[in-house]
Amino acid sequence: MTTTTSRACVLDPGVSTAIRRHGEETFPHECCGALIGRDDRITSAVALPNTTEEGPRRRFLVRPSDYRLAEQKASELGGELLGFYHSHPDHPAKPSQFDLDHAWPNFAYVIVSVMSAVARDMTVWYLKEDRSRFDEGTLNGDEDSDSHPAPAVHG
């Protein structure tokens, strides 16, 4: 379901820490938020409420009103909405079929794995144009990429 791509994004200082902290705060529920920046450089992670009614341990939902707020926030910050992040509680940082079925093109999807309330792997993914799968991109600027080696988990 996934392959790699040459596409890369850069996280400014503080962004990966903010995403990890959000994932740990909401554990065992999924967190979600918007990624704002320009030209594949993510300068801000904006936490958004997970409004899913399908069980927040396994799902997240950014409702239309919060999506609009994210676009407004990006404009206020002088950037663009580049994508979204969410956590996978006690699951690896790989997109699920559910992620694929609901993905938007041209967005960066950052996923952080949170194992037993500790944030570990963080990855970034891009939907292929034909919607058949995600391609994994390169995530630069992850401040904790080596401090929490992820155990092998098969979800």
Partner 1 sequence: MATKILIPTPLRPYTDKQDAVEASGATIGELLADLTAKYSGLKAHLYNEQGKLRSFVNIYINDEDIRYLQKDQTPVSASDTVSIIPSVAGGV
Binding site for partner 1 (CB under 8 A): 30, 32, 52, 54, 58-64, 67-68, 71, 74, 80-81, 84, 86, 88-89, 91, 95-96, 98-99, 102-107, 109, 130-131, 155
The answer to whether 148 touches 120, Cβ cutoff 8 Å, is yes
- Which one, 104 or 118, has the nearer CB to partner 1? 104
**Minimum separation from the CB atom of position 34 to partner 1 (A):** 9
Query: Given the complex with partner 1, which of 48 and 139 has the nearer CB atom?
Result: 48
Are the C-beta atoms of 2 and 125 separated by less than 8 Å?
Answer: yes
CB of 38 to partner 1, least distance (A): 12
Phi/psi for 20 (5° steps) reads: -60, -45
Q: Is 57 left (phi over 0), alpha (psi -120 to 50) or beta?
A: alpha
From residue 94, how far is each of 66, 80, 101, 152 by CA, in Å?
A: 24, 25, 14, 12
Rank residues 19 and 84 by Cβ distance to partner 1 and give the closer one: 84
CB closer to partner 1 out of 129 and 146:
129
